């Protein structure tokens, strides 16, 4: 369902600022300036808490420095705003990995840096895990409408490819694993603690938020990934 556009000039709320003449495409993370940055921040919280169907544009407008009319002016529809939020979330993941400064490290230390960066990011930004879970419930319907997200994720695979290749050339890492495999495994280990925290605590009475538990899991996940990478191939390496 697509919501109708609202003309900001006829909105009864206080007027918002129009897009600047030099602004990029509305809703893109790189062009979010002024009111758009505020809208995306609040919309991220609203969609993460209530999902696409439960989120209310009225609620987002009430918590921002702009109007409901201006939100539709910038993003076209509720769905357009949701897609912009997804783009911003995935962009923030890639930014955290870029800041891991792994490129100049030896292979094992580089793996450690990337795993720790992923672990820390997801723990500090639980809304990203919730948005990913929500979009999986949606069958990635809206993510597929955002080619920018696929472009952003090329860098994630490139990072693992660089580290994996260096370790393989040095005789440290197995050859029967791909960069996509590593990305999937590390993301799974780091995201589970965020998306399943409440149910895991209810069943096992273990709180992933406990400082000691979190620090222990951080060490264990790094150790598991390194142990896996340094193991022997399950099948002969491909020529």
Find the CATH number of the domain harbouring 101.
Answer: 1.10.357.10
pLDDT, tens digit (0-9, with 9 covering 90-100), for 106-125: 999 999 999 999 999 999 99
Mark whether 147 and 53 lie in a shared domain: no
pLDDT of residue 33: 58
Mark whether 61 and 147 lie in a shared domain: no
pLDDT band at 235 (very low <50, low <70, confident <90, very high): low
CA 28 to CA 25: how far, in whole Å? Answer: 6
Mark whether 100 and 77 lie in a shared domain: no
Q: What is the pTM of this model?
A: 0.80
pLDDT of residue 18: 32
pLDDT beyond 90 at 139: yes
DSSP assignments along 125-171, one per residue: -HHHHHHHHHHHHTTTTTGGG-HHHHHHHHHHHHHHHHHHHHHHHTT
What value does the mean pLDDT take over residues 188-205? 97
Domain membership of residue 34 as a residue range: 8-81
pLDDT band at 6 (very low <50, low <70, confident <90, very high): very low
Out of 47, 65, 81, a domain closes at 81
């Amino acid at each position: 369902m697509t919501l109708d556009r609202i003309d900001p000039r006829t909105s009864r709320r206080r007027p918002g600022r129009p897009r600047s003449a030099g602004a990029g495409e509305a809703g893109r993370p790189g062009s979010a300036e002024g009111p758009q940055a505020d809208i995306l921040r609040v919309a991220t919280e609203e969609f993460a808490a209530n999902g696409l169907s439960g989120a209310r544009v009225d609620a987002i407008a009430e918590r921002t420095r702009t109007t409901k009319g201006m939100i539709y002016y910038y993003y076209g529809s509720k769905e357009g705003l949701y897609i912009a939020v997804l783009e911003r979330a995935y962009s923030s993941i890639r930014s955290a990995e870029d800041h891991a400064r792994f490129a100049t490290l030896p292979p094992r230390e580089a793996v450690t840096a990337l795993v720790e960066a992923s672990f820390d990011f997801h723990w500090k930004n639980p809304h990203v895990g919730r948005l990913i879970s929500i979009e999986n419930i949606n069958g990635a319907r809206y993510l597929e409408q955002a080619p920018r997200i696929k472009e952003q994720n090329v860098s994630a695979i490139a990072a693992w490819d660089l580290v994996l290749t260096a370790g393989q050339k040095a005789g440290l890492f197995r050859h029967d694993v791909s960069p996509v495999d590593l990305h999937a495994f590390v993301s799974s280990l780091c995201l589970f603690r965020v998306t399943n925290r409440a149910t895991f605590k209810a069943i096992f009475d273990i709180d992933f938020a406990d400082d000691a538990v979190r620090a222990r899991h951080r060490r264990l996940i790094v150790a598991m990934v390194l142990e896996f990478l340094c193991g022997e191939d399950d099948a002969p390496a491909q020529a």
